[in-house]
Chains A and B, each alone.
Chain A
């Protein structure tokens, strides 16, 4: 545990540098600067190593992570292009707006290399952030791991629909909106399932 903690501490300086770059990219994109960083929790690092036993810790891409919350997809695109231009080493880019995760999670993730370490950047719109917060709240309250795309279809089905509905509402024209009735029925299924499960104690 001491070793893991010391290893993680090495990410702090490069992470802070990447955050400065991200802040500057957001400013240039003329968006409000809502940017934060976090060092991965040790239990999450261990869970990830257990889920992907072949994973090399030094290549874990999100020990140092940062996040910008942006008003809309136009701002996300502007920031993304800015980061690509200012950072020579974009190691990978995952556009979960084009291909959402099974849970319905949407964002743009970029991994950049800085001082020999990898740092993950997440670009989310405000509504995507609200959705992701909801998922974390449910996971915490009910002892679930929906965040990792694992869990009952009763809940994941609702979350997927909700994410699509939000995109349809805020990014009009890009998606077909599920009807209010369809979403609210899915919501009831999720509520029933969660009620049966009960909050963790």
Chain B
């Protein structure tokens, strides 16, 4: 199994993923990570993160925050009657 690295750029306010760049090389991915952070330094509305897994689908399960629905308000779950 080889790890796929994804450099995610997420817009916190719009709650949308702006980009997910895929890398097979860990070195290239980490270099791009540093560059992206430098390019967006001080932009607090953006979250830039380097994650890796066997697929983007796995990342949806492990890092679901970056794949949210784009609704401006977060729905707080109720406790359904049991």
Contact = CB atoms under 8 A, between A and B. Distances in A.
Chain A, interface size category, equals 35 or more
Contact of A69 (B15, B51, B62): B62
Nearest to A2: B34
A162 B78 CA distance: 8
A67 B51 CA distance: 11
A22 B80 CA distance: 35
A5 B34 contact: yes
A143 B74 CA distance: 12
Given A38-B50, A41-B48, A140-B15, A184 B1 contact: no
Contacts of B78: 180, 183-184, 187
B82 A169 contact: yes
Nearest to A68: B62
A199 B72 contact: yes
Most buried by B among A36, A37, A42: A36
Contact of A136 (B50, B65, B73): B65
20 contacts: A1-B37, A2-B34, A9-B27, A19-B3, A19-B52, A35-B54, A38-B49, A129-B61, A134-B77, A136-B65, A137-B65, A138-B74, A140-B10, A140-B13, A140-B47, A140-B68, A141-B73, A180-B78, A184-B79, A201-B13
Interface of A: 1-2, 5-6, 8-9, 12-13, 16, 19-20, 23, 33-39, 41-43, 67, 69, 129-130, 133-134, 136-138, 140-143, 158, 162, 165, 169, 178, 180, 183-184, 187, 190-191, 194, 199-201
Interface of B: 1, 3, 10, 12-13, 15, 26-27, 29-31, 33-34, 37-38, 41, 45, 47-54, 58-59, 61-65, 68, 72-74, 76-82
Closest 5 interchain pairs by CB? A5-B34, A36-B53, A36-B62, A136-B65, A140-B12
